[in-house]
Structure 1
Amino acid sequence: MAAVAVVALAAACSTTVPGRSTPAQSSAGGESTASVAAPASTAGGGAPNQALRKYYDQSIAWGSCSSFAATDDFDDPGTSRLQCGTITVPIDYSNPGAGDATIAVDRLLAQGTKQGSLLVNPGGPGGSGVQLVGGSATNWSKLAVNQTFDMVGWDPRGVGASTPTIRCYTDAQVDANRQSTLGDDNSPEGIIKQEAFNKENAELCDQKMGTNFLAHVGTADTVQDLDVLRSVLGDKKLSYIGFSYGTFIGAIYAEKFPHNIRAMVLDGAVDPSEDPSKSNVRQMAGFQTVFDDYAKDCAKSAACPLGTDPTKAVDNYHKLVWPLIDHPVPASPGRPLSYQDAATGTIQAMYSPNLWRALTVGLAQLRTGTGTMMQRLADAYQGRDANGHYSGMMDAFTAINCMDSPAITDPVALGRLDTELRQAAPFNDDGRGTGHAAKGACAYWPAKNTLSPHRVVVPADMAKVVVVSTTHDPATPYANGVSLANQLNAALITFEGSQHTASFEGNTCVDGAVTRYFQSLTVPPAGLRCSE
């Protein structure tokens, strides 16, 4: 297993890390890189062909969100403005008669005169847009953009309340995988065991979900679903904001349906042109930067568990977490804190300064032999609720990534990547590197990836897009936003901060520019920089 031990071993397909964003509570991430041929539907913004007409012409029976809220933590703003429904899409757009999938959708109705729908995606891959809107309805209601736009969330195919739902592992299996030490052994024998495990889990997912469905869960199909949803909502042009991996959805949509865009904000950018290995290394360097920022902030207090000298923070962190490899500490009943979960919990806290206090508490607890807070952070990252049920985001994360990017299978390349990752993020190095690493589950995936890295190419007359990029973004480094803005000929908003994504997080500079853009199509001024 690669140095980034933040994804459950069963999901070991990529070293990138997932997450999600909500207004006023940022925590998104998880990236992939890809390209795709034009679809059989409305490439370039034309009318759908006859075989797809019924999907574009369907309507949503809006109603109660009770069925969705049964599995999601919905936030009712105290009005009837939150509604839910579903649409139907073909599993295979090139063969619509081969079966359908159901896409879950919710919307928070505009409070004033409606301009249209604003579709939102939280990232991941595997994040729930239904949860993003329904779970933060009160926060969305406070935003000026909700005065004139219905806020619309949707669960991409295979995700959340959409069906079929990608579920490869039981809750008990995920709990067991999080306690596994298999990934700690990078000896030749250990590599063989890891690869056998990853192969077994890829086959298990194939058995549960079927090759045909898994072959069509990637972003190539998701953007076509997004265009169907645009049509069903009655919007001639798409208004969209995507966070983190959601920027990748937006970029590929722009390439396939450039003339169907009204306004698009891409915050926390994935660079579709970047080699996956380089992307992984750059991402982990970003996490190291934010870890260093955290260490400097923590060091202001004499009680900082990493000490008051930030230059020694990595060494002091290792002293706290490395012993967990061989000796997990008590956390919750039946689930001691493993090293893997401590690493995961630390990564979770890097997404937002709002989580730094929790990390400090968690690290302080480790000094007393307790892992409660670190496990809570890891549970939040892994999508585990208080009842021990997992959201399935990690299953979807693996399946979508496997379709969105070619797997790295060359042993030399894998070993080199493992070494580079350890060097890029010393805090996340478990000290057990050997220069070798195992192939992940994607190397054994039953379906061939449909996307590969490339520069996105869009026509000059496409509507102006806006990219938001944060200077110290841990999961999607600032340079990604610069590159994506260049590819899309987009306006770039620079946010100076140490967090992942910035839109609708309460910064008046960013929020004002984004809101004006959506409501009046006023493009932000060139070189706009916003600070915390």
Structure 2
Amino acid sequence: MLQKHKLPALLAAALIPAALLLASCTTGPAPDTSQAATDLSRFYDQKLRFGSCEDFAVTELQEKTFAAVTRAECARLTVPIDYDHPDDGTTELAVTRMAASGDAQGSVVVNSGGPGGSGQLQAIIAANGLKNTPITEQYDIVGVDPRGVSASSPAIDCISDEQTDKTGLVFPAGVVQGSWTAADTRKIADECIKRTGSEQFLAEVGTPNVARDMDILRAVLGDEKLTYIGQSYGTRLGAVYAEMFPSKVRALVLDGAQDPTLQSAERKVTQYAGFQRSFDLMADACTWQPDCVLGQDRGQALQRFHDIVRPLIDTPATTSSGRHMDYNTAIGAVIGGLYQSTTWPAVQAGIAELTQGKGETLLALSDGFAERGSDGVWSNYLEANVIINCMDEQRRTPKQEEQLRAKIWAEAPFLDPGESVEGARDGCEAMPGNTELSYPYAQNITDLPDTLTISITGDPTTPYGGGVTLANTLNGALLTVKGEQHTVAMGGTSACVNDIVSDYIIDLKTPVQGATCILD
């Protein structure tokens, strides 16, 4: 199982099915210092009115999480949709604060990753995970649902809950099985625009604008400088903020970071190679068991896996709910289960169940990762993930997407459906907006204080080397964590990590070179 908390668990490690565009590493332009920037004063001068969180829950998970705590306070932050034209409409962001148990010295802003993860829930999880540290005594923990995400308004919406139950959320992407046309990607874009309500809004949900939103939040919270903990995608956001607002940074903890020097396609190949490593370790652990569904011959485990999952392309497995488990959904569930070694037994059980024509276990994994409630209501986590990445990613031609698919299947053969790479297509090609991002990012930043990057040796989706590169790029400190999972700083599962993060957040003390923690 995933790491447990007394609170309902937010799957904060950005557990994204294979059909999705995984988080990219990008950067944005310097903040605007023209006359348009001075017109933002009404946003920087606003007052947050914290109160009950009763009207802030939009999913079953959020309802249960808010019900489990008594200290959560919520408010709404107003920011411009388009920072170049701040009079052309606004969007409201949902903010949650877990007040310090003592005299607050300021706020720690947290981001759960994705993109698409709820910052509101992450504030509660971080406050719980760090409750035995000085951080929660001396700092309010504040999380915000980024623009387009969860309880913020408007929220990105591309597909109905009923349709998602029937087909899953499969956007054309290089890694998944299937073939698409230009008409397919146009239909996807049109549906996202229609359901969200604004082409202009979708075009403005990229990370540079989220970083600008975070600077407004910093000021409205009364903090001269930002203290921040971000995991997974949150490290991209933190690095983009550092590049745009270096003089406004007090402390940045970047947990589960990606290599800032990689181009979009290169990063995807590297990420899926990391998943292959985790798949191989999971298969190794399985083959030592006498009843392993993949057999006892490690050399045949991959072929055995293909023999079990590839038939789902033509004949999906059944579930008691009447929903089907097709190939792409099954692969997505397996990927989600590879994020932490504690979830591997559930993956093995789900694969074994497929041999009986049933998909209950993998469907439960998939639903949990995608935050689908028992009431049939899905969060917009997956939709937001795709659209935000579309606004950040370098868009590719069909030929480039086919080449990318071939590279991914070569590096991660457990994903290979045994079909041609033809028909791969960039699901972002018809989306509105022109990315303002460039690669590499966060380079040669001046006046940036010491930062802390945390990288786990067995991280399946943000490989260890990427964190090393980011720490060097920012000229900051690196904490190496030995283990098999994705992110660790806010979960409260490592006293060693908690102590180092606390020393940094409280006293701005960074660990010595070569500092290492070991996960149990």
Structure 1 counterpart of 2:4:
none
State how far apart, in whole Å, the 2-side matches of 1:96 and 1:392 are.
26
The match for 2:19 is none
User: What is the rounded CA distance, in whole Å, between the counterparts of 2:66 and 2:391 in structure 1?
Assistant: 35
Structure 1 contact 77–137 (Cα < 8 Å) conserved: no
Matched, 1:202 2:189: yes
Distance 2:304 2:78 in 1: 53
What CA distance in whole angstroms lies between the structure 1 residues aligned with 2:109 and 2:294?
A: 42
How far apart, in 1, do the equivalents of 2:169 and 2:121 lie?
A: 28
Q: Give the whole-Å Cα distance in 2 for the aligned partners of 1:416 and 1:497.
A: 33
The CA distance in 1 between the partners of 2:111 and 2:173, in whole Å, is 32
* Closer, same or farther: CA 431–336 of 1 in aligned 2, 3 Å: same
Q: How many residues are matched?
A: 503
Contact 1:56 1:228 in 2 (8 A): yes
- The question of 1:358 aligning with 2:350 is answered no
**Larger mean Cα displacement after TM superposition, 496-505 or 276-285:** 496-505
- The runs of 5 or more residues in structure 1 that have no matched partner are 1-21
Partner in structure 2 of residue 63 of structure 1: 51
Q: Which among 98, 107, 114 is matched to residue 117 of structure 1?
A: 107
Q: Counterpart of 1:519?
A: 506
Aligned residue in 2 for 1:232: 220
Q: Percent identity?
A: 38
Give the secondary structure class of the aligned counterpart of 1:369: coil
Report the counterpart of residue 3 of structure 1 in structure 2: none
- Preserved contact between residue 48 and residue 56 of structure 1 (Cα < 8 Å): no
- Give the TM-score, by structure 1 length: 0.89
Distance 1:36 1:169, change over 3 A: same
Q: Which residue of 2 aligns with 1:427?
A: 414
In structure 2, the CA distance between the partners of 1:77 and 1:169, relative to structure 1 (3 Å rule), is closer
Distance 1:488 1:64, change over 3 A: same
* Contact 1:182–1:194 (Cα < 8 Å) also in 2: no
1:316 aligns with 2:304: yes
2:140 to 126, 146, 150: 150
The one-letter amino acid of 1:172's match is: E
In structure 2, C-alpha distance between the alignment counterparts of 1:132 and 1:175, rounded to whole Å = 26
Q: In 1, Cα distance between the equivalents of 2:69 and 2:428? A: 44
Give the corresponding residue for 2:239.
251
Give the unaligned 5+ runs of structure 2: 1-7, 16-21
Equivalent residue number for residue 168 of structure 2:
178
Aligned match for 2:474, one of 459, 475, 488: 488
| CA distance in structure 1 between the aligned counterparts of 2:9 and 2:475, rounded to whole angstroms | 27
Give the drift of 1:410. Answer: 4.9
**What residue identity is the alignment partner of 1:207?**
K
Say yes or no: does 1:454 pair with 2:440: yes
Q: How has the CA–CA distance of structure 1 residues 458 and 162 changed in structure 2, closer, same or farther, with 3 Å as cutoff?
A: farther
Question: Aligned partner of 1:266: which letter?
Answer: L
Structure 2: distance between partners of 1:485 and 1:119? 20
| TM superposition shift of 1:89 | 0.4
Structure 1 residues 200, 334: CA separation in 2 closer, same or farther (over 3 Å shift)? same
Alignment-mate amino acid for residue 525 of structure 1: V
TM-score normalised by length of structure 2: 0.91
- Contact 1:88/1:101 (CA < 8 Å) preserved in 2? yes
Question: How much does 1:452 deviate?
Answer: 2.6
Shift of 1:35: 2.7
Aligned to 1:165: 155
Q: How does 1:327-476 map to 2 (within 5 A)?
A: 327-411=315-399, 413-432=400-419, 434-476=420-462
Q: Distance in 1 between matches of 2:503 and 2:250?
A: 14
The 10-residue stretch of structure 1 (402-411 or 134-143) with the greater mean CA deviation from structure 2: 134-143
1:510 to 1:226, Cα distance in 2 relative to 1, 3 A? same
Give the C-alpha shift of residue 115 in structure 1: 2.1
* Cα distance in 2 between the residues matched to 1:339 and 1:525: 46
Residue number among 262, 279, 288 corresponding to 2:276 in the alignment: 288
State the match for 1:132 in structure 2.
122
User: How big is each residue's C-alpha offset from its partner over 1:395-414, in whole Å with a ceiling of 9 and x where there is no partner?
Assistant: 11121111112211151x22
Distance 1:343 1:315, change over 3 A: same
Give, in whole Å, the separation in 2 of the partners of 1:197 and 1:518: 47
The Cα shift of 1:304 comes to 2.0
Structure 1 residues 328 and 184 mapped into 2: Cα distance closer, same or farther (>3 Å)?
A: farther
Instruction: Pick closer, same or farther for the CA change 1:23–1:530 going to 2, 3 Å.
Output: farther
- Identify if the C-alpha distance between structure 1 residues 169 and 41 changes in structure 2 by more than 3 Å, giving closer, same or farther: farther
Are the structure 2 counterparts of residues 284 and 199 from structure 1 closer, same or farther at C-alpha, using a change threshold of 3 Å? same
Q: Deviations over 1:121-148 (max 9, x none)?
A: 0111111101222467544534542122
